[in-house]
Amino acid sequence: MGLLRIMMPPKLQLLAVVAFVVGMLFLENQIQKLEESRLKLERAIARHEVREIEQRHTMDGPRQEAVLDEEEDMVIIYNRVPKTASTSFTNIAYDLCAKNKYHVLHINTTKNNPVMSLQDQVRFVKNITSWKEMKPGFYHGHVSYLDFAKFGVKKKPIYINVIRDPIERLVSYYYFLRFGDDYRPGLRRRKQGDKKTFDECVAEGGSDCAPEKLWLQIPFFCGHSSECWNVGSRWAMDQAKYNLINEYFLVGVTEELEDFIMLLEAALPRFFRGATELYRTVGKKSHLRKTTEKKLPTKQTIAKLQQSDIWKMENEFYEFALEQFQFIRAHAVREKDGDLYILAQNFFYEKIYPKSN
């Protein structure tokens, strides 16, 4: 017996294909709506939790006005640069907040705009410094550096950050916009459907891979001045370097994230006690966010981008940050049998006068 074949008329085949495509688009749309609903729910829950905390402290009466001791009055701001393992690091902070008794708050700016309006800067500074119910607090978001001293604040927050090799960061961001990552795989991305590789984009002189897109880490550290966002500004790079040295407690690099976490735990145990072990045992597998479909660029593509003055400046800033981080690490840790360990206290006091009776 021959095989029985059921052939569909061409029109029915076309209708079936159209129905399938429409069905897939409908499913994608529903997934997007569910993701938006989830985000709205998360924001509503967060607002409710904040109100509950404020009400609880209000009912406590005089305790609301109590002066916080040094550790409890601490605020950390992690003004995270996109695609530098910022989500991976932030998840460590979320995992530890209940155990170490501090609050974590996401700074969600409209359309992820890293520059705040002047009035929002005032509101933000006031919130950070006077919101006792949220202290000790760990704030994180894609916001450029803001100088609290300009607003007459007596005690400034502690700034930390992580940066990445500028080309690697741009490549990761390029594919992230098209394919997303394993953190929220169902979310539809802005450039979804564009299958062009990073190499092809550079070869064709595309806007999404242009050297100007490298200009991000410098302005994030430079701040809210207009010159910070002028692509290729030498002043902006010098200001970013100044801020990194003088205004940031510690700046790590994506490529050495574990060492960054280890140094934070040693220096700021109030927040990061247990962070190194958590990262080693759980974080490397569950926290590291991987961009989907990412293809490494060719040597030719890298060489072409490295001809740009913008790359040279961003890379100079990255190398500057890396050298500073490695200098701090060299004076804080020692290596033994392939493992790093934190040095014990290496200073003490003597010849104390006048002598007590």
Q: Which residues of 318-355 are buried (b: 16+ CB within 10 A; e: fewer)?
A: bebbbebbeebbeebbeeeeeeeeeeeeeeeeeeeeee
Q: Which of 48, 57, 103, 140 is catalytic?
A: 140
Residue whose C-alpha is closest to residue 261's, from 277, 243, 281, 282? 277
The residues that bridge with 140 in the sheet, in sequence order, are: 78, 106
Any catalytic annotation for residue 140?
Answer: yes
Please provide residue 79's backbone torsions phi and psi, each rounded to the nearest 5 degrees.
-85, 80
Residue whose C-alpha is closest to residue 233's, from 307, 169, 314? 314
Query: How would you classify the pairing of strands 339-342 and 333-336?
Result: antiparallel
CA atoms within 13 A on the CB side of 279: 23
Any catalytic annotation for residue 287?
Answer: no
Q: Which of 103, 142, 224, 331 is catalytic?
A: 142
Q: Is the peptide bond before 354 cis (omega within 30 degrees of 0)?
A: yes
Alpha-carbon gap, residue 86 to 352, rounded angstroms:
46
Alpha-carbon gap, residue 105 to 135, rounded angstroms:
11
What are the distances in angstroms from CA 117 to CA 66, 79, 180?
32, 16, 29
DSSP H stretches of helix in 217-283 = 217-222, 234-246, 257-267, 269-272, 275-278
Q: How many CB atoms neighbour CB 91 within 10 A? A: 20
- Catalytic residue numbers read 140, 142
